[in-house]
Amino acid sequence: MKGIIFDLDGVIVSTDQYHFQAWKQMADNMGIYFDEEINHRLRGVSRMESLDIILERYQGTALSESEKEQRAAEKNQTYKELLGNMTPDDVTAEVRETLQELRNRGYRLAIGSSSKNAKFILARIGLTDAFDAISDGENISNSKPDPEVFVKAAEYLQLPAEECAVVEDAEAGIQAAFRGGMKAIAIGSIREAKLTELELVTFSDLLRIFP
Ligand code: B16
Ligand code: MG
């Protein structure tokens, strides 16, 4: 293994509560029921696909494509305002130090995120320079579980897929890694699903997997 590709939301940093608050505000405005359990289904899923999941509970007339775009833009505006509260303190010392040590050991590191806000988030938390490449929602046409975001990340790192491992907190992301011919490492509650044999109890366990 020469390259490690990290999902952003749920792996490097947690923006889950901001996604929840922003979607909740949009759902409330439209009179749609929305809760934490539905929010959980949005992990790793693109913005427009997330909207479709929320609209499953919508009782009104079906939305046109432009109305959907408008609602998604409304959500993103609220989300970006909330992201504005993020600072480098939102990254744990464990994450920061582990990334640095992996680099010291010679691994090439990339971000592989479905988010179109990935670069904004990385800038807010002061981690842009911790990665050799960033592949995100801005450079893909198909989102996870399609492997495109990780295939592009490996390309940007100039490494073949089989020399890359992906760290993920969502089922869609783990499937995407496998479909891209990469190893998948699970972190967080998704470990319970036993989708992969490699897992991290805590982020710094990466230092045992990558000597
Ligand atoms: P945006 P990841 C994903 O990021 C989030 O997990 C998912 O909840 C979100 O809908 C998606 O990004 C798109 O985000 O609206 O900012 O483009 O986990 O792939 O880093
Ligand atoms: Mg994630």
Q: What is the CATH number of the domain that holds 41?
A: 1.10.150.240
Atom of ligand 1 nearest to the CA of 10: 18
Residues 6+ apart with CB under 8 A from 48: 68, 72
What is the tens place of the pLDDT at every residue in 145-173? 999 999 999 999 999 999 999 999 999 99
Note whether 104 and 174 are same-domain residues. Answer: yes
Residue ending a domain, choose from 83, 114, 139: 83
To the query of whether residue 7 is one of the catalytic residues in this protein, the response is yes
Average confidence score pLDDT of the chain: 96
Residue that finishes a domain, picked among 32, 51, 83: 83
Catalytic residue, from 7, 136, 146, 169: name it.
Answer: 7
Using DSSP's 3-state secondary structure scheme, residue 82 falls into helix
Q: How many domains does the chain have?
A: 2
- Give percent above pLDDT 90 in the chain: 96
pLDDT of residue 13: 96
pLDDT tens readout for residues 7-36: 999 999 999 899 999 999 999 999 999 999
Q: Please state the pTM of the whole predicted model.
A: 0.93
Distance CA 125, CA 146 (A): 27
Residue 170: predicted pLDDT: 93
In which domain, by residue range, is 120 found?
3-14+88-209
Q: Which of 52, 83, 114 is the last residue of a domain?
A: 83
What's the pLDDT at 43? Answer: 86
**Do residue 96 and residue 75 come from a single domain?**
no
Distance 156 CA to ligand 1 centre (A): 20
- Ligand 1 binding pocket, CB closer than 6 Å: 7-10, 19, 42-47, 50, 76, 113-117, 137, 170
Contact 42, 53 (CB under 8 A): yes
The reply to whether 96 and 140 lie within a common domain is yes
Same domain? 120 vs 202: yes
Between CA 168 and CA 166 the distance in angstroms is 6
